[in-house]
């Protein structure tokens, strides 16, 4: 049995390169060499990384189709004092990739979980997109069915923060058209083949991006949030504040949260709350 880095069995969540193998960290390599087993989304893809760095740690599969059964096997490994590294094909495990079931089971069993930092396609694309970065929503993949994708975008269309999506090359043109139809002609950025030889950013509006064709590689689509002032019912917002207050949340904290969510004045909302509260007495 190998000696784990922290001297006791643990699950390591290891981010791996999204394209350029030189982005792998020394700590990542240490962990992949030191654990007893590497659980892979696809052992063939992970084998390329391990071979490149002359790593010979045993690998097993852990993917969407065997997640429950593989989780049981990994728990047994941990119980036998064997550490496991979970990797996806690229980037972070669990981010639009399997691992959620395993992480929760490991937490339930009381084993340590250690994350090993690394590349992330969504953040790479966001910071180079030219769109606001202070607040953002990572959504991942939209539903492959156009009707469902439209419903998902309808739910997001009033969200004020930058939106981050992943998309496959064979669906990107359809997704761009749906986004334009539902969200309107917003600023957007399409990043593809990040960290690879043919890395490319297309910046502009959704209508401009819809003119692109025959794109290849993994895609990250960044879309500006909604900046239109929404009409709000102050009485409805006060009701939300009162509901939160009844659950034990301080009124001022509830007001701050609701005011930020709907982009209204905290002072005005708090005064409306006080007026209604005093009027109910």
pLDDT of residue 276: 85
> Which whole number is the average pLDDT over 246-258?
91
pLDDT above 50 for 265: yes
CA–CA separation, 127 and 141 (whole Å): 19
pLDDT in tens, 27-39: 999 999 999 999 9
- Per-residue b or e along 230-260, where b marks 16 or more CB atoms closer than 10 Å to that residue's CB: eeeeeeebbebbbebbeeeeeeeebbeebbe
Average pLDDT estimate for 265-281: 83
Cβ atoms of 195 and 17 within 8 Å: the answer is: yes
Instruction: Determine which helix (DSSP H) or strand (DSSP E) holds 154, and give its type and residue range.
Output: helix 146-156
User: For residue range 191-249, what is the model confidence (pLDDT) as tens digits?
Assistant: 999 999 999 999 999 999 999 999 999 999 999 999 876 567 888 899 999 999 889 99
Lowest pLDDT segment from 53-57, 155-159, 227-231: 227-231
Q: Give CA–CA dist 125/119, Å, rounded.
A: 11
What does the pLDDT read at residue 260? 84
Interior angle at CA 263, CA 260 and CA 266, nearest 5: 65
Q: Are 24 and 53 in contact (CB under 8 A)?
A: yes
50 or 263, which is more confident? Answer: 50
Please give the share of the chain, as a percent, with pLDDT higher than 90: 80
CB 162 within 8 A of CB 131: yes
**Across 277-281, average pLDDT:** 68
| 42-56 mean pLDDT | 96
Joined tokens for residue 130: 């030219």
Sequence-distant (≥ 6) Cβ neighbours of residue 176 within 8 angstroms: 190, 206, 209, 210, 212, 221
Please, where are the H alpha helices in 159-229?
Answer: 172-183, 206-209
SS (H, E, C) 72-119: HHHHHHHHCCCCEEEECCCECCCCCCCCHHHHHHHHHHCCEEEEECCC
Average pLDDT over the chain reads 93
**Cα separation, 92 vs 99, whole angstroms:** 10
Instruction: Return d(Cα 105, Cα 122) in angstroms, integer.
Output: 27
What is the arithmetic mean of pLDDT over 111-131?
97
Instruction: Output the pLDDT for position 3.
Output: 46
Q: What is the pLDDT of residue 59?
A: 97
Whether the pLDDT of residue 5 is over 60: the answer is no
Any idea which of 92-96, 113-117, 250-254 has the lowest mean pLDDT?
250-254
Q: What is the pLDDT of residue 85?
A: 98
How far apart are alpha carbons 15 and 132 in whole angstroms?
25
Q: Residue 278: pLDDT above 90?
A: no
For 40-59, what is the mean pLDDT?
96
Predicted pLDDT of residue 280: 61
Is pLDDT of 119 > 80? yes
**What is the dihedral sign for C-alpha 12, 58, 83, 97?**
positive
What's the token pair of residue 75? 């728990």
Of the pLDDT bands very low, low, confident and very high (cuts 50, 70, 90), residue 104 is very high
SS3 assignment, position 137: strand
The pLDDT value given to residue 263: 76
Distance CA 267, CA 273 (A): 10
Residue 85 or 4, more confident: 85
């Amino acid at each position: 049995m190998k000696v784990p880095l922290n001297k006791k069995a643990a699950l390591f969540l290891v981010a791996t390169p999204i394209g350029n193998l030189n982005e792998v960290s020394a700590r990542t390599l240490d962990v992949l060499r030191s654990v007893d087993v590497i659980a892979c989304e696809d052992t063939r893809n992970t084998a390329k990384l391990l071979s490149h760095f002359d790593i010979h740690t045993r690998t097993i599969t852990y993917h969407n189709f065997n997640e429950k059964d593989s989780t049981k096997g990994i728990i047994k490994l941990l119980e036998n004092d064997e550490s496991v590294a979970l990797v996806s094909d690229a980037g972070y495990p669990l981010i639009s990739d399997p691992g959620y079931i395993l992480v929760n089971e490991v937490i339930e069993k009381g084993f340590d979980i250690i994350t090993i930092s690394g590349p992330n396609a969504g953040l790479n694309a966001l910071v180079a997109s030219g769109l606001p970065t202070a607040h953002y929503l990572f959504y991942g993949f939209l539903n492959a069915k156009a009707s469902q994708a439209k419903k998902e975008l309808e739910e997001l269309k009033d969200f004020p923060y930058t939106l981050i999506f992943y998309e496959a090359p064979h669906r990107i043109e359809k997704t761009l058209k749906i986004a334009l139809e539902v969200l309107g002609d917003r600023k957007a950025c399409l990043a593809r083949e990040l960290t690879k030889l043919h890395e490319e950013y297309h910046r502009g509006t959704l209508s401009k991006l819809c003119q692109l064709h025959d794109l290849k590689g993994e895609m990250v689509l960044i879309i500006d949030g909604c900046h239109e002032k929404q009409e709000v019912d102050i009485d409805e917002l006060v009701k939300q504040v009162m509901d939160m207050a009844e659950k034990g949340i301080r009124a001022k904290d509830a007001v701050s949260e609701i005011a930020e969510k709907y982009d209204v004045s905290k002072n005005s909302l708090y005064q409306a709350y006080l007026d209604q509260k005093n009027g109910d007495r």
